[in-house]
Amino acid sequence: MSTLSSKVQEVFDEPACGKNQAKGEKERKKGCTKQLVPGAAAGGCAFDGAKIALQPITDVAHLVHGPIACEGNSWDNRGAKSSGSSLYRTGFTTDINELDVVYGGEKHLFKSVKEIFDKYDPAAVFVYQTCVTALIGDDIEAVCKAATQKFGKPVIPIDAPGFVGNKNLGNKLAGEALLDYVIGTEEPDTTTPYDINIIGEYNLAGELWQVKPLLDEMGVRILSCISGDAKYREVAYSHRAKAAMMVCSKAMINIARKMEERYEIPFFEGSFYGITDMSDSLRNIARLLVDKGAPADLLERTEAIIRREEAAFWVQMVPYKDRLKGVKVLLITGGVKSWSVVSALQEVGMEIVGTSVKKSTLEDKQKIKELMGEDAHMVDDMTPREMYKMLKDAEADIMLSGGRSQFIALKAKMPWLDINQERHHAYAGYDGMVTLVREIANALYNPIWEQVRKPAPWEMQGDKKLATENTEHTEVLLGGFRSVPSVASVV
Ligand code: SF4
């Protein structure tokens, strides 16, 4: 069995993944990948997943070995923020051609690595395998080994070509590459009893920075965040942390579990979305650190901060509470965030009329059931037509989703808010929750909806009767605009 296939098999066998463990041995071997039908590669390939997981490491040059389209498709489409280097946002690719396919692209790759070191002097180069270069048999591992020796700096192979599976598998293979080549290779200057790792947090829109000030106040140090706003060296010495938090995602569970096994770093799964989850996460961080030997007064300090922050949050909620009470939300997210966003919205009085669970694990689904009850309207794969119908029939007042679904909401003339990776607002922690609530209120009460739902002037002038029959009008109700059947008052 090749190294790649054995790695993929190992990832499928992840003991900490409840979904995998619930399967029989035969099913588990088949893996989690559903074969995509041609033309429907929605959701991204394994290469894409690996790149997404590692790209937020900011002082690394991320070099894609393959045709330029692999890099071009996903280049800089996520809002991971950096407090230092911006090298991670530069797209590097070997852009292989027909001659490389015939003669092999390994020399080309080596020269590209040299060029990057000469021109940019990065802390390390990550080399990503893609379908074409894997199929022609380029051995990126051997090239990276030779380049590391030649240039004296780490050149790390990320072996997750697109064809091996989906984005989530790619996330995990990226984690395996960190475990094999990066984690444990350097030592921090100092360590403290308050050092933690945060795993699976990508600092999208700067969310990590909404949490960091509170951790600083508790006296807790983020030794390494994998991978939001991370530097190569921080990841390399992350094995010295005392505890770890895995941020509401199964994407990098293999890192958390293997670091517990190898370096005795206990971890818990938590979320920074919503007040209860945020407070629980701070409590769990403090508890794990105290269990590992930190002074016990950390627990009291943490409780004091939680009390202060929760009180301040509810004061800020006063102007929104009545406006958002009972607002019906259709939540279409990548799945991993579904339960944490559900609980966050419920806390401020909104009602979730449906949530997607396409990429959610069994535990995620269980948590949603606990939050929404047994009748929870969980949809595996809602078609655009179904989303449109729900919005048009006013079963939901607003849709929260990624950018791809926004046009469905706009076509239904209903409010929409971006909560996926391209978003421009940060929604983590107590401050982030205030921002989320404010953005939802802004979207719902935007006067544009009243305008776009009115018949166009030419429809009114030309044939008043036609306008009466064919249009709808809106009225402002508590909690947003809702469509109602047309009435004569339109004309
Ligand atoms: S790695 Fe393969 S599946 Fe992924 S973008 Fe490149 S060619 Fe497409």
User: How far does residue 429's CA lie from ligand 1's centre (Å)?
Assistant: 35
What is the CATH classification number for the domain harbouring 401?
A: 3.40.50.12380
Residues at CB less than 6 angstroms from ligand 1: 45, 47-48, 66, 70, 73, 130-131, 161-162
What's the domain count of the chain? Answer: 4
Q: Is residue 20 part of a domain?
A: no
Tell which one of 33, 47, 71 to mutate to probe ligand 1, the residue whose CB is within 8 A of the most ligand atoms.
Answer: 47
Please tell me whether residues 350 and 438 are part of one structural domain: yes
As a whole number of angstroms, the distance between CA 142 and CA 201 comes to 31
Please tell me whether residues 83 and 224 are part of one structural domain: no
Q: Which atom of ligand 1 is nearest to the CA of 41?
A: 3
As a whole number of angstroms, the distance between CA 287 and CA 10 comes to 31
Please tell me whether residues 211 and 158 are part of one structural domain: no
| Listed residue (330, 337, 336, 334) closest to 355, CA to CA | 330
Residue 229: predicted pLDDT: 97
Q: What angle do CA 38, 39, 43 make, to 5 degrees?
A: 105
User: How far does residue 158's CA lie from ligand 1's centre (Å)?
Assistant: 14
- Residue carrying the six token digits 């030309």: 462
User: How far does residue 129's CA lie from ligand 1's centre (Å)?
Assistant: 9
Q: Is residue 26 part of a domain?
A: no
As a whole number of angstroms, the distance between CA 161 and CA 50 comes to 9
pTM over the 0.75 mark: yes
Please tell me whether residues 436 and 454 are part of one structural domain: no
Please tell me whether residues 360 and 472 are part of one structural domain: no
Please tell me whether residues 44 and 95 are part of one structural domain: yes
| Residue-range definition of the domain harbouring residue 266 | 195-315
- Residue carrying the six token digits 């965030």: 337
Provide the residue-wise pLDDT of the chain in tens; the chain has 491 residues. Answer: 567 887 787 777 777 666 555 666 666 555 555 555 444 445 689 999 999 999 999 999 999 999 999 998 777 778 899 999 999 999 999 999 999 999 999 999 999 999 999 999 999 999 999 999 999 999 999 999 999 999 999 999 999 999 998 888 999 999 999 999 999 999 999 999 999 999 999 999 999 999 999 999 999 999 999 999 999 999 999 999 999 999 966 678 999 999 999 999 999 999 898 899 999 999 999 999 999 999 999 999 999 999 999 999 999 999 998 899 899 998 887 554 667 788 888 888 899 888 877 666 667 677 777 777 766 677 777 788 888 888 888 889 999 988 878 899 989 999 999 887 778 899 999 999 999 999 999 999 999 998 888 888 888 765 555 545 544 444 433 334 444 333 232 22
| Listed residue (115, 108, 112, 63) closest to 87, CA to CA | 63
Please tell me whether residues 174 and 38 are part of one structural domain: yes
Residue 476: predicted pLDDT: 39
Please tell me whether residues 99 and 163 are part of one structural domain: yes
Please tell me whether residues 47 and 171 are part of one structural domain: yes
Ligand 1, atom 5: closest residue by C-alpha: 70
Please tell me whether residues 170 and 39 are part of one structural domain: yes
HEC letters along the chain: CCHHHHHHHHHHCCCCCHHHHCCCHHHHHHCCCCCCCCCCCCCCEHHHHHHHHHCCECCEEEEEECCHHHHHHHCCCCCECCCCCCHHHCCEECCCCHHHHHHCCHHHHHHHHHHHHHHHCCCEEEEEECHHHHHCCCCHHHHHHHHHHHHCCCEEEECCCHHHCEHHHHHHHHHHHHHHHHCCCCCCCCCCCCEEEEEEECCECCCHHHHHHHHHHHCCEEEEEEECCECHHHHHCHHHCCEEEEECCCCCHHHHHHHHHHHCCCEEEECCCCHHHHHHHHHHHHHHHHHCCCCCHHHHHHHHHHHHHHHHHHHHHHHHHHHHCCCEEEEECCCCCHHHHHHHHHHCCCEEEEEECCCCCHHHHHHHHHHHCCCCCEECCCCHHHHHHHHHCCCCCEEEECHHHHHHHHHCCCCEEECCCCCCCCCCHHHHHHHHHHHHHHHHCCCHHHHHHCCCHHHHHHCHHHHHHHCCEEEEECCEEEEECCCHHHC
Q: Is residue 205 part of a domain?
A: yes
Q: Is residue 19 part of a domain?
A: no
